[in-house]
Amino acid sequence: MLALGLGACNGGGDDPPTTSTSSSSSTSTTSTSTPSSTTTTSGTATLDPAKLPPEAQKHTPEGAAAFVEYYMEQVNEAWTQPNSKLLPLLSDPECIACKNFNKTSAELERDGQKYDSNPVTVTRVTPLSQNADGVQLVRLYMDQHKVNVVDKAGKVVLTDPAKKLARTVGVQWMGASWRLYGMQ
C-alpha cells in the first residue's frame, strides 16, 4: 500500500487520506550511503544549515513557519525524484507524519515510481502559539493537486485528487535548527 496522505500526526487527529497501488515485486533492497549534505558524528547525521533558506534558520515563530513551508517543498522533492534521504534530517525521529512521508518516498523508490509533478503547493503558513514543551505550532494551508504517480515507463499507476488542505503542524527547535514534530 502506498500511503500518500498528508494528515498524519504525533497523537490523535483524523486519519490521513490514502490511496493504494499494488506492486509486482515484493522484494525490497536496502542500501546505505552517506549523502554529501550530511556529516556523521557518533553515527548521528546532522542537517546542513546551508541547505535551509535563511528565514527558516531563525529561532522565531516566523522561522518555524518558513521551516514548515520548506519541509513541504522537500516532500514534493522526495516524491517527484523520489528520494527517501531528504526528509529524515528535517524530522523528529518520533514524528508519525514524517515517517509516513518518508515511507511514501521509499516505496516510490522501491517500486520505480514517482509523482509526475509536485503533489502540493503551500498557499499560506501562519505561526500560532508555542506549547510548554517548546513545540511551535504553525497553521499550514495547501492545495493538493490532481497529480499522477507514474512508473518507469510513464504509465499512470494512480492519481491523487485535487483538494484544499489545512493542517496544524508542530515543529521543535533541536540543536541549531527546526525539526518537524507532528502534523494533524
Query: What integer pLDDT is reported at residue 50 of this predicted model?
Result: 56
Q: Is the dihedral of CA 20, 149, 169, 39 positive or negative?
A: positive
Q: pTM of the full predicted structure?
A: 0.77
Task: Return the closest-CA partner of residue 79 out of 104, 52, 110, 111.
Answer: 104
pLDDT of 46: 54
Q: Which pLDDT does position 47 carry in this prediction?
A: 59
Regions of the chain with pLDDT less than 50: 1-45
Query: Which grid coordinates belong to 7?
Result: 494528515
**CATH says 53-183 is which class?**
alpha beta
Quote the pLDDT of residue 119: 98
Contacts of 18 by beta carbon, 8 Å cutoff, 6+ apart: 1, 2, 3, 4, 5
